[in-house]
Amino acid sequence: MPLAEKGTVISNHQTGRDLWEMEFLAPGIAAESKPGQFVNVRLGDYSDPLLRRPLSLYDVEPDAGRITLLYKIVGRGTQLLSRYGSGQLIDVMGPLGLGFDLVQNRRVILIGGGVGIAPLLFLTRELVARHNEVIVLHGTGSSDELCSQGRFSKLGVEYKVATMDGSSGYKGLLTDMMKEALEPLPTDYIYTCGPEPMMSAVAAYASQHGISGQLSLEEHMACGVGACLGCARKLKETDTAYVKICKDGPVFPLDAVQLSTGGS
Amino acid sequence: MPLAEKGTVISNHQTGRDLWEMEFLAPGIAAESKPGQFVNVRLGDYSDPLLRRPLSLYDVEPDAGRITLLYKIVGRGTQLLSRYGSGQLIDVMGPLGLGFDLVQNRRVILIGGGVGIAPLLFLTRELVARHNEVIVLHGTGSSDELCSQGRFSKLGVEYKVATMDGSSGYKGLLTDMMKEALEPLPTDYIYTCGPEPMMSAVAAYASQHGISGQLSLEEHMACGVGACLGCARKLKETDTAYVKICKDGPVFPLDAVQLSTGGS
Amino acid sequence: MNEETRENLIDMSVNLGGLKMQNPVAVASGTFGYGREYQDFIDISRIGAVIVKGTTLEERCGNPAPRIYETPAGMLNAIGLENPGIDVFLNVYLPSLIEDRVTVIANIAGNTVDEYALLSRKIDKHPGIAGIELNISCPNVKQGGMQFGTDPDLVKQVVEAVKSETSLPVIPKLSPNVTDIVSIARAARDGGADALSMINTLMGMAVDIDRRKPVLGNIFGGLSGPAIKPVALRMIYQVYKEVDLPILGGGGILNTRDALEFIMAGASAVSIGTGNFVNPVVAEEIALGLEKYVTEQGLTGINELVGAAVL
Amino acid sequence: MNEETRENLIDMSVNLGGLKMQNPVAVASGTFGYGREYQDFIDISRIGAVIVKGTTLEERCGNPAPRIYETPAGMLNAIGLENPGIDVFLNVYLPSLIEDRVTVIANIAGNTVDEYALLSRKIDKHPGIAGIELNISCPNVKQGGMQFGTDPDLVKQVVEAVKSETSLPVIPKLSPNVTDIVSIARAARDGGADALSMINTLMGMAVDIDRRKPVLGNIFGGLSGPAIKPVALRMIYQVYKEVDLPILGGGGILNTRDALEFIMAGASAVSIGTGNFVNPVVAEEIALGLEKYVTEQGLTGINELVGAAVL
Ligand SMILES: Cc1cc2nc3c(=O)[nH]c(=O)nc-3n(C[C@H](O)[C@H](O)[C@H](O)COP(=O)(O)OP(=O)(O)OC[C@H]3O[C@@H](n4cnc5c(N)ncnc54)[C@H](O)[C@@H]3O)c2cc1C
Ligand SMILES: Cc1cc2nc3c(=O)[nH]c(=O)nc-3n(C[C@H](O)[C@H](O)[C@H](O)COP(=O)(O)OP(=O)(O)OC[C@H]3O[C@@H](n4cnc5c(N)ncnc54)[C@H](O)[C@@H]3O)c2cc1C
Ligand SMILES: Cc1cc2nc3c(=O)[nH]c(=O)nc-3n(C[C@H](O)[C@H](O)[C@H](O)COP(=O)(O)O)c2cc1C
Ligand SMILES: Cc1cc2nc3c(=O)[nH]c(=O)nc-3n(C[C@H](O)[C@H](O)[C@H](O)COP(=O)(O)O)c2cc1C
Ligand code: FES
Ligand code: FES
């Protein structure tokens, strides 16, 4: 059952270009959390910014009551978030949304683009616990956005990187690396989160090879609980109904979603 | 000439109940400042709170380029102000308004109520430099609001306090103490700043004894420079025109103003 | 009399033109779903009234995405009245609200006067609803919606038609996008309204300068939140002075002080919309905050404060 | 072509119905005094146009205090058109603005159509003014002011009367407190307006819950600042689509991105009001910011962006 909690910030520091990590204590939320779910965070005490900001559960240690977020500073809310200091209270609602389905005893690939890596760490932890062979592919623009290596390594999984500028790992698109990285061994399941054109390429690859999987979507949110009907999206253009990303998602089957392939 | 400057915060700390002191470097403003003038401070980076906040020059050391503010946390702006840390930049316009007339070689009394003491410290410094005998009377609710004693003592002036609860100095109204404190020696000039009912009693006493002097008024402000005509006030009820506190004041002659005597 | 005894004598209940609320705090239509969405966060039986999502005769799938956008101290929404239709509401969503002993206010929107009448008839026949809020002010749908709320004659017609179908308290919800709110309020009263709800959202928009397009799929949306509070207060003040009907006031309320502003400007009860998104327990907090204020001020009830600031 | 050469070819000037501005950024009436108040902070000759404080035939002493109040992301003002009268403006305040080579737009308000005409005649005779903004939308004075701006017939009459007295560009400033902004804009065009200024403030109020009274001495005031930006953008977008007149757009602009929203929604130039209080050099910053944007986007001038987001 989700709840609203005042978390106590443990630490909050920069870990890469525009990337920050915040740890806070929120035992109630931590106890309920599943990979792929998110929290909705209120920032500041004033009316601007007004709405909460949705952020994935990057890591959760239920026993310690500890939650970690990985966030990229893109606007006013995330900027304010970076100013919280240890000991301060932070107003959090969660865990919200439906998380990832957790497979067992499989060879699974997790593909994260940029800060889309966020929901995949907690997922990795849980997948490892379920005896899966986990391979994580992470693509960014440059090596200074690769801040998660240590955390993934600690979980003992394979973690491969691609950077557009070649400053680390494979030089080029993550999805180009993907093809090389995944074959010839068979992949049983794919989880992905990142820019839609990237996820679109992943979904195409998966469909081509008959691999099932899940992805995580984003939409601007207000309530985060399905009450405002704001975070609506048609999964396929031909659908008549809109799903609500906050409640029906943010995780959806790879083949259920028609993704933007880029352009504008 | 006033200017807009990004000051660098040197220190910002609590000095009494809801009372804080902030020191910052703003050499341009410091060089131009006179006692009784004020700065208009922008707080936060967002649209709420939106308007700048007027604050008196508590102390100014032009050579060091240093300005000190004394402020009471009463709302959102002053709350935000208290969160600035050393090294941060603060957006300040000043010095604004007309300051106090500075007399010379006189016996002058400065009467501050609560945080109304703020403009009187810098004034004391300048009056002492002009060979005046300065007596400062400060009234507050309780001793934990008396945070300025040390600073006044350093300037070598007589500093007497009254607290409503008797926790320090005279027990009771500052204006009751005033009568005892001022007589039998003659007073040449009175400067006062504080709640209007207090200043009203001071003005009545001054008029009764034929003492001239000045007071400092407050009004909600937007521009702080006379452009918006927002901080208007009729000095006397019979006036037809409104003065602008930010430009025609905040300092006015004691006998020019009809003050609120309390009630609502 | 000590505070505790006095507290027992304090009356926080409100009678909004026949609609009884245990306390003056309602949650606004479209911001609280059908009550169940916030159930994990707040004990909804403590809320004065839950005004459910705007309901139409037929199911509506709503407007294209994006539907919401944050603005300075506010937000734009263009949901487009997505809802499952009146029958599904009555048969599927309402029962659990009734079970939870919630005071439910329906919110209906029609494309024609007849549709408003038909919706009201269905609701009237169905037990468990305490009142009907008429959404004649939705800026986000092409047909129906706002044009009803901006024309006094149509307002009167709609209210009359609804009143003839139901004995439930009828509360038209006024659009602020008008030149003269008082004339609209008078028309609603002339049509037989039992109370007035005000204000709905201001019509606004935002531009995505990177894409060089309107942000919202619907181009225009309704502006809500603290940004509109001064406009809401002004209109409530104007109507309170001129029209003798109780007012359910809202627009940007985030806390008890905001709610007190509305009550003193003439609102008999308040509604919280966008505030729920900011703080999911805000309705309960404000209900308690108002009770505390009434107690501290030594008043006998919240009613004493209604219009207290109106000169 | 490298950036530097291109920059020289960029045209940031604006022609607002015959009124030429060196750049698209004006400062709004009532927020910049007569220019001199901000002289210590900003080089006013760099501003596209200075619209001076609203001026009436006779001196006015304005409304009782308090006149202003901060609201969420906005402010209320009820100055009440305090000004020294048209003759003092022309003879005492104008000369120094002319000396500083500022493009000056007068802003006039009358109690009657004749007063508007008389004011315009006086201005027309006096060299040094680039255009006349007609304040037919001031919510803060009893007579005149807003009622002119909410009635299409009166709008047309006022504009016609003014046009017959002056060959200067005439720019009615529209009130947002109306049901149908497009019909008001059409009436202004039919009266012969050369451009439109929009929007003036939304009428609002605030309650002092401690004193249980309206905060403002005038009870009601005009809401300005970022809070109203979505409403301003929506109205400009609507009018741009329907009425073929250049628009001077404003309402809550604080930075270059805000200004770009207005331009893409259909404004040919922008005005900054409350933003000046927040940042006294904002007008110059935005003028430079717009030039930078135009350069970076490889455009030839700001005009290319006007209405770019209008579907
Ligand atoms: C389910 C979910 C999980 C997310 N997890 C993460 C995460 O773990 N780490 C991370 O860095 N980011 C994550 N995001 C994106 C994050 O929510 C946005 O970057 C953030 O809201 C931007 O806020 P801002 O105030 O800094 O930006 P602004 O652009 O100033 O925000 C303005 C408004 O737009 C909304 N908005 C802007 N960008 C997005 C976006 N991409 N998605 C949704 N709303 C947006 C904001 O919430 C706000 O309402 C997630 C988004 C969703 C929907
Ligand atoms: C010339 C002048 C000098 C001042 N010097 C000092 C000083 O040295 N130290 C100090 O603590 N205070 C001083 N004040 C009062 C100070 O400006 C207010 O306490 C402060 O603006 C409150 O802001 P807030 O956001 O915390 O309160 P809020 O109540 O949230 O402010 C809301 C709005 O009301 C205005 N406001 C509230 N109280 C006052 C007030 N008393 N005077 C003017 N505007 C007000 C704010 O500026 C803001 O626009 C001075 C005021 C003036 C006019
Ligand atoms: C997301 C959203 C959906 C809304 N849907 C409806 C609706 O279906 N029917 C209605 O009458 N009002 C609707 N409204 C308006 C609110 O009920 C309320 O009147 C308005 O938001 C102003 O109050 P606030 O500032 O407290 O949100 C909606 C508002 C929002 C933000
Ligand atoms: C303090 C103040 C005084 C104003 N006086 C006038 C005026 O005299 N004439 C006028 O046409 N508009 C006046 N306005 C309206 C502004 O010119 C502007 O149209 C409005 O504030 C919206 O823009 P903004 O949000 O950028 O402030 C005034 C606004 C403020 C805040
Ligand atoms: S954010 Fe409100 S329904 Fe999803
Ligand atoms: S604050 Fe603008 S005139 Fe004084």
Q: For D108-125, give the DSSP string.
A: E--SSHHHHHHHHHHHHH
The answer to whether the bond into A184 is cis (omega within 30° of 0) is yes
Nearest-atom number in ligand 3 for the CA of C83 is 8
Please name which ligand lies nearest the alpha carbon of A230.
5
Cα(A117) to ligand 1 centroid in Å equals 14
CA nearest neighbour of B181 among B163, B161, B203, B197 = B161
Q: What is the DSSP letter of C143?
A: S
Cα gap C166→C153, rounded to integer Å: 20
**Cβ of A224 less than 6 Å from ligand 5:** yes
Dist CA C133 CA C107 (whole Å): 5
Q: Do B46 and A44 touch (CB under 8 A)?
A: yes
How many A×B Cβ pairs under 8 Å?
Answer: 16
- Closest by Cα among B130, B125, B187 to B157: B125
What are the chain B neighbours of C226 within 8 Å (beta carbons)?
A: 48
Cα A111–Cα A115–Cα A117 angle in degrees, nearest 5: 30
pLDDT band at A101 (very low <50, low <70, confident <90, very high): very high
Q: Choose between A167 and C23: higher pLDDT.
A: C23
Of C25, C27, C29, C56, best ligand 3 pocket probe by most atoms within 8 Å of the beta carbon: C29
Split at pLDDT 50, 70, 90, the class of C138 is low
Residue C144 has pLDDT above 50, yes or no: no
How far apart are the CA of C78 and the centre of ligand 3, in A? 10
> What confidence category does residue C140 fall into, taking pLDDT thresholds of 50, 70 and 90?
low
C238 Cβ below 6 A of ligand 3: no
Residue with tokens 């304010």: A80
Residues of chain B with pLDDT under 70: 262-264
Other CB atoms closer than 10 Å to residue B64's CB: what's the count?
12
B71 lines ligand 2 (CB under 6 A): yes
pLDDT for D144 equals 47
Query: Which residues on chain A are in Cβ contact (under 8 Å) with C37?
Result: 223, 225-227, 247
pLDDT for B179: 80
pLDDT of residue D142: 52
Q: ∠D162-D168-D171 over CA atoms, to 5°? A: 65
| Nearest protein Cα to ligand 4, atom 26 | D273
What is the rounded end-to-end Cα distance, in angstroms, of chain D? Answer: 32
pLDDT at B63 (0 to 100): 94
Looking at domain A3-96, its CATH class is mainly beta
Is a pLDDT exceeding 60 seen at residue A77?
Answer: yes
- pLDDT on residue B174: 87
Interface test with D, best of A45, A47, A50, A76 (most D CBs within 10 A): A47
Separation of B127 CA from ligand 3 center, angstroms? Answer: 60
Q: Is the pLDDT of residue A236 over 50?
A: yes
What is the tens place of the pLDDT at every residue in A239-257? 889 999 999 999 999 999 9
Q: How far is C72 from chain B (nearest CA, A)?
A: 6
Whether the CB of B47 is below 8 Å from some CB of chain A: the reply is yes
CB C280, CB C44: distance < 8 Å: no
Is the beta carbon of A232 within 6 A of some atom in ligand 5? no
Chains that touch B (3 or more CB pairs under 8 A): A, C, D
Domains assigned to chain C: 3-305 (3.20.20.70)
Q: Which residues in chain B are classed under CATH 3.40.50.80?
A: 107-256
pLDDT for A2 equals: 93
The gap between the terminal CA atoms of chain C, to the nearest Å, is: 32
Positions of E strands within chain C: 14-16, 19-21, 25-27, 49-51, 68-71, 74-77, 104-108, 131-135, 170-173, 196-198, 202-204, 207-208, 213-214, 221-224, 247-250, 269-272
- Set C27, C138, C232, C243: catalytic member: C138
Decide if D61 touches B, using CB distance below 8 A.
yes
Q: Which ligand 5 atom is at minimum distance from the Cα of A221?
A: 1
Q: What is the pLDDT of residues C160-194, one digit of tens each?
A: 999 999 999 999 999 999 999 999 999 999 999 99
Closest-CA distance of chain B to residue A260, Å: 32
Residues of B in contact with D227 (CB under 8 A): 47
Q: From the CA of B97, give the closest atom in ligand 2.
A: 1
Using a CB-CB cut-off of 8 Å, the residues of chain D touching A48 are 72-73, 226
Tell me: pLDDT of A88 over 70. yes
Close Cβ partners of A256 (under 8 Å, ≥ 6 residues apart): A235, A236
Taking the CA of D222 as reference, the closest ligand is 4
Atom 1 of ligand 3, nearest CA residue: A228
Q: Where in chain B is the domain with CATH 2.40.30.10?
A: 3-96
The model's pLDDT over D142-201, given as tens digits with 9 standing for 90+, comes to 554 557 788 999 999 999 999 999 999 999 999 999 999 999 999 999 999 999 999 999
Query: What is the three-class DSSP state of D98?
Result: helix
Measured in Å, residue B56 CA sits from the centre of ligand 5 at 46
What CA dihedral angle connects B193, B197, B201 and B207, to 10 degrees? 70
Nearest residue (by CA) to ligand 4, atom 28, is D30
pLDDT attached to residue C1:
43
Tokens of A91: 């107003």
* pLDDT more than 70, % of chain A: 99
Backbone phi, psi, residue D285, to 5°: -60, -40
The confidence score (pLDDT) of residue B217 equals 97
Q: Do B234 and D40 touch (CB under 8 A)?
A: no
Atom of ligand 2 nearest to the CA of B71: 11
Pick B107-256's CATH classification: 3.40.50.80, 2.130.10.10, 3.40.50.300, 1.20.272.10.
3.40.50.80
- Strand segments, DSSP code E, in chain B are 3-16, 19-25, 38-42, 53-56, 59-61, 66-72, 89-96, 107-113, 133-140, 158-163, 170-171, 189-193, 212-216, 232-233, 243-244, 251-253
Average pLDDT per block of 10 residues along chain D, 311 residues long: 57 95 97 93 95 94 95 97 95 93 95 93 93 81 62 93 96 95 96 97 97 97 98 98 98 98 98 98 97 95 96 94
From A207, A224, A223, select the one nearest A215 (Cα to Cα). A207
The nearest CA of chain A is from the CA of B18 a distance in Å of: 18
Select from A55, A68, A92 the residue to mutate for testing ligand 1; criterion: most ligand atoms less than 8 Å from CB: A55
Contact yes or no for D209 and C260 at CB 8 A? yes
**pLDDT attached to residue D138:** 61
Flag whether residue D32 sits within 8 Å of chain B, measured between CB atoms. yes
Task: Count the Cβ atoms, other than its own, within 10 Å of residue D54.
Answer: 24
Give me the half-sphere count of Cα atoms (radius 13 Å) on the Cβ side of residue A235.
17
* A46: closest CA of chain B, how far (Å): 6
The H or E element spanning position D51 is: strand D49-51
Distance B245 CA to ligand 6 centre (A): 7
Task: Report CA torsion sign: D10, D16, D20, D26.
Answer: negative
CA distance C84 to chain D (A): 30
Active-site residues of D, by number, are: 138
Q: Is the CB of B222 under 6 A from ligand 2?
A: no
**A64 touches C: beta carbon within 8 Å:** no
Q: Which of B51, B91, B233 sits opposite D75 (nearest CB)?
A: B51
How many CB atoms within 10 Å of residue D196? 30
Query: Does residue B5 sit in helix, strand or coil?
Result: strand
